[in-house]
Amino acid sequence: MFAMAYVTNTAIVSISANEINIMALNAKAFYRIIWLSLLIMEFYCKTMLPHHEVLAASIAEDLQTVLEQFMAISKDLGGGITVSEI
């Protein structure tokens, strides 16, 4: 049976072949979980989110609305900021 030992700053640690196999299986399981979660995220992004052009247009509309609200508030306060000044 294969065994490995190494020294830490406080003790000698021994690892058997079984423990190495268990660690390798845990690492494989971890990477498979990460891989599956990335596949799920990719599927979600492709199917559930709107196309990037639609999303960009929606954001631009929201920003335009906010800009108009700021201009109205500025006008009410006597500042009168115009779009060319921003």
Cα separation, 26 vs 36, whole angstroms: 15
Per the rule left: phi > 0, alpha: psi between -120 and 50, beta: everything else, 80 is left
Over range 34-54, report the average pLDDT.
84
Tens-digit pLDDT profile for residues 49-82:
778 888 899 999 999 999 988 888 888 887 666 6
Its pTM surpasses 0.85: no
State which amino acid sits at residue 9: N
Cα separation, 46 vs 50, whole angstroms: 8
Round the CA-based radius of gyration of the chain to a whole number and report it. 29
